[in-house]
Chains A and B, each alone.
Chain A
Amino acid sequence: MANLQLELKEMIITALDLEDIEADEIDDAEPLFVEGLGLDSIDALEIGLALQKQYGIKLKADSKETHDHFASINALAALVESHRGTNS
């Protein structure tokens, strides 16, 4: 599980071309948007694409649900885990 969190942090740093931040500086529970990492709406689009490319996840149509999944690294990890669960 901890490996997945690390993997997601690396994915975000690469996909969003972030600088001055290492994976281990991102807190698993901190908010990714506005507060915490301070990502924006364009970043959300990019993360959506990266999730599809790396994990084959198609986001559900409900924006509220998507919003919840994008809350933190832990929430993203839970999304990836549950997706693996339904496909294995």
Chain B
Amino acid sequence: MKKLSTWLSDTNDKPIAILAGQVISKRQFCTKVAAWQTRLPLVPKQKWAVYHNDAIEFLAILFALWHSKCMACIPSDNCEATVTRLSANVAGFIGEFSLVGDQASVWQLADGFDENSLAQPLWNTLEKSFPALEVYTSGSTGEPKPIIRTLEQIDHELASLELLWPLSASAMVLSTVTHQHLFGLTFRLFWPLVKGQIFQAKHCPFTEDIYHLATQCERFILISTPAHLKRLNDQLDWLGLAGKCEATISSAAPLKYEDSLYAAQLLNAPIFEIYGSSETGALAWRNQSKKDQDYWTLLPNVKLEATSTSGRFLAIGAHIAPEYQALSDNIEQIAEDRFYLRGRTDRIVKVEGKRLSLAKLEKCLEESEWVHTAKALVVVRKREEVAVVIELSNLGLSLLKQRSEKWLATQLKTQLKASFEPVLLPRRWRFVKALPYNQQGKLPMESLQTLFQPVQPKWPTELDRKHSNNHCEFTFHIPAELVYFEGHFDGNPILPGIAQTHWAQHYGRKVFAFSGKFVRLEAIKFQQIIFPDSEVTLKLEFLPKKNRLAFQYLSSKGVHSSGRICFE
């Protein structure tokens, strides 16, 4: 395996990537590096911000910077607040940024720029120990914290990974993750590059994209995250890909055992998980092929050391700078090279694999003059999402009287958009008179969580509706979560007759627009039980002369119930 520091100066020409179906050779790539070098006024020791969705352009910019001993600063997004935050510290912005006002300038290759008009320069071996890469992560104060890496550290990390998994270099690297963070950078770009393994330049967030590309190659390796793997589309013909996937590497957050099993079955390949952080790079791995294999094993050349004072652990390795050794996760060591993860030591959480400082979110909300106190938490309903509980200020309370909670939430959310990426924006908002502190003066997490329990539905899900004059036919799905199934009956849920008549009346009033008061029920028959998660048709007929509504619940099993509701 080569090294990142010597890769450019190696004159061997070979394919490195696939971009839009075209093979990109090393020679073509180096021409791009030369083009960027010509375009950018680089002076050693400068720092430049880089954002580009095209992995080839992105890498070419990186090598152009490194060849001139400049640092590539890689923000995870290109939003306005990020640009503002960086503008005082960088020489310029390269790639896909849109700037406002008189912030530093954005550098791109000119349209129609002929890369082939450039002579290929002689490339030097890159200097190994200068600060080459700067990535950001949210620190416990909530401020984005810069983390600096040298090429030497990156090369040490890649060597450790290669020792651990000497996977074949012939499989194509596909990825659902971008390269604008450390995991993507290392696993989908740097490692394949030094290994001589072809990678797809495009990142594919959708399963369908991955599937489509996978059908076109002999073998592939998938770089992904729990957020993507647990949502793999099981309707695709994965059997048709059997034997093609060599391995899947997942990081960003621990994968649940069930999700690991699900992905391993569909892809017919082992799912390797990586534990690490932006500060440390990759540290450990696991493969949960059995239920009790949820412990982590250290990478070759990485050691754990308990600190004598704080109980925190240090991760020691050639690719980890001394200032980043202290881990922010609680570690339970079970052998020299094995451990369990037991939560964070600070208020940093992962939401669908993205790191969020709850403290920063609360601080940002409390900057609004409408907010007195804000508490943020992660709730898990159908997905992991951010929720906030807010005690309004007097100004906020008077606004609430004129407007609505929804309006307030929308305004506050808009203010947060500049500083948080979309996945980290709160999706559930609760405005309370007073936060639920207990008698000990603590704010128990459970009492905040209860504010976000899902409201059980009272209505069926309408799948179809056919309406003509005094007839209407609905197709309903009967959700298993219906409030009416609770206790009716324990272990044997069935839809109560009273709910069925209530729905008939509700939907009847909705479509036929009559207003008379309920008088009585007539000819009511309950013939067959309606079970959770079934599909039924409700046939309604309004008899205007008699002011009656006839109803019938039907399915492939026949008639479930029928009757007439009489109105005044």
Q: Which residues of A contact B207 (CB under 8 A)?
A: 45, 48
| Known contacts A45-B227, A53-B235, A40 near B422 by CB under 8 Å | yes
A63 touches B352 (CB 8 A): no
Shortest beta-carbon contacts, A-B, top 3: A61-B212, A40-B422, A59-B208
User: Which of A17, A34, A44, A63 interacts with B382 by CB under 8 Å?
Assistant: A17
Number of interface residues of A (CB under 8 A): 30
User: Which of B204, B383, B413 interacts with A17 by CB under 8 Å?
Assistant: B383
Q: Which residues of B contact A46 (CB under 8 A)?
A: 231, 382-383
| Known contacts A40-B422, A48-B233, A14 near B461 by CB under 8 Å | yes
Interface string of A43-68 (1 = CB under 8 A from B): 01110110011001011110100100
Q: Which residues of B contact A16 (CB under 8 A)?
A: 382
A-B contact count (CB 8 A): 78
A48 touches B228 (CB 8 A): no
B239 within 8 A of A: no
A41 touches B382 (CB 8 A): no
Interface string of A3-14 (1 = CB under 8 A from B): 100010010001
Q: Which residues of A contact B211 (CB under 8 A)?
A: 61
A19, B430: Cα distance in complex, Å = 11
Q: Which residue of B lies closest to A33 (CB)?
A: B422
A18 smallest CB distance to B (angstroms) = 8
B206 touches A59 (CB 8 A): yes
User: Which of B212, B235, B423, B461 interacts with A42 by CB under 8 Å?
Assistant: B423
Most buried by A among B231, B233, B381, B413: B233
User: Which of A14, A49, A66 interacts with B231 by CB under 8 Å?
Assistant: A49
The interface of chain A, by Cβ under 8 A from chain B, is 3, 7, 10, 14-17, 19-20, 33-34, 38-42, 44-46, 48-49, 52-53, 56, 58-61, 63, 66
B45 within 8 A of A: no
Q: Which residues of A contact B209 (CB under 8 A)?
A: 59, 61, 63, 66
| Known contacts A3-B465, A42-B227, A63-B205, A17 near B381 by CB under 8 Å | yes
B39 within 8 A of A: no
A48 touches B463 (CB 8 A): no
Q: Is the interface of A mostly helix, strand, loop or mixed?
A: helix
Number of interface residues of B (CB under 8 A): 35
Interface string of B464-503 (1 = CB under 8 A from A): 1100000000000000000000000000000000000000
B383 touches A61 (CB 8 A): no
B425 within 8 A of A: yes
A3, B236: Cα distance in complex, Å = 28
| Known contacts A16-B382, A17-B381, A38-B422, A45 near B206 by CB under 8 Å | yes
Interface string of B405-436 (1 = CB under 8 A from A): 11001000100000000110100100000000
A52 touches B212 (CB 8 A): no
A59 smallest CB distance to B (angstroms) = 4
A40, B352: Cα distance in complex, Å = 11
B18 within 8 A of A: no
- Can you give 21 A-B contacts (C-beta < 8 A)? A10-B462, A20-B405, A20-B406, A34-B422, A38-B422, A38-B425, A41-B205, A41-B422, A42-B352, A44-B206, A45-B206, A48-B206, A48-B233, A58-B233, A59-B206, A60-B208, A61-B211, A61-B212, A61-B213, A63-B202, A63-B204
Q: Which residues of A contact B464 (CB under 8 A)?
A: 3, 7
A52, B423: Cα distance in complex, Å = 23
